[in-house]
Amino acid sequence: MNDNEKFIVLLRHGIAEPHGARADDDARILTETGNRRMKQIGRGLEKRFPKAELIYSSPLIRCVETAEWVEKAYGSSITFKTSEALKPDATIDDFHALIDGSEARRIICVGHEPNLSKAMLAVTKMSSDGAIELKKGGCYGIRLFAGGAAQLEWMLPPRVLRRR
């Protein structure tokens, strides 16, 4: 990766309580399975993307919990921040401002669907008939080139990240 490039990983939060489980949907938490799998996924992501510098997370609890598992996998080598730009009601412009405004070159963004897929499509200038969606715990890896071009380099389902 040269000095003018960035690489971002868009990671969907882990398995959370179902819609309606809490009066405030924003307060839904990861399930026991969601926590167990995100612990494994965090380790798998660290092996595949070892030089990550920064995690941005939606402030919703299920994303923060997901980001915390990723942070634990990286140890003290990574910084963790929440960002309104990754909330379900955030816009593509919010996402662009977050990434463009960050000095970090290797970033993990923990968020929600369909926002993450929409962001990937917008950044890479790809199109979809709406059939693309990350599974919970899945991620996209996107290289951002100087000048604004971007390339989707990988899309990993959660089962691949959980493998040892």
Domain contains 142: yes
Q: Percent of the chain at pLDDT above 70?
A: 99
Domain contains 1: no
Flag whether the pTM goes above 0.85.
yes
Dihedrals phi, psi of 142, to nearest 5 degrees: -125, 130
Domain contains 33: yes
Domain contains 22: yes
Length of the chain: 164
**Residue 117 CA from chain centroid, whole number:** 10
Instruction: Flag whether pLDDT at 2 surpasses 80.
Output: no
How far the first Cα of the chain sits from its last, in Å, is 26
| Cα–Cα dist 84/36, whole Å | 26
pLDDT at 163: 85
pLDDT at 26: 92
Residue 1 pLDDT grade (very low, low, confident, very high; cuts 50, 70, 90): low
Q: Percent of the chain at pLDDT above 90?
A: 89
**Total count of domains within the chain:** 1
pLDDT at 164: 67
Q: What is the pLDDT of residues 91-100, one digit of tens each?
A: 999 999 999 9
pLDDT at 38: 98
Domain contains 121: yes
- Kindly provide the residue ranges of all beta strands, DSSP E only, lying in 23-74, ordered along the sequence: 54-57
| Cα–Cα dist 86/60, whole Å | 9
Domain contains 104: yes
Domain contains 108: yes
CATH number for the domain that contains residue 32: 3.40.50.1240
* Token pair recorded at residue 15: 């398995």
Instruction: Flag whether pLDDT at 3 surpasses 90.
Output: no
CB 61 within 8 A of CB 51: no
Domain contains 61: yes
Average pLDDT, the chain: 95
pLDDT at 131: 82
* Parent domain of 138: 6-162
| Cα–Cα dist 79/25, whole Å | 27
| Cα–Cα dist 18/70, whole Å | 22
At residue 80, what is the residue type?
F
Q: What is the pLDDT of residues 110-155, one digit of tens each?
A: 999 999 999 999 999 998 887 899 999 999 999 999 888 999 999 9
Nearest CA among 47, 108, 54, 105 for reference residue 77: 54
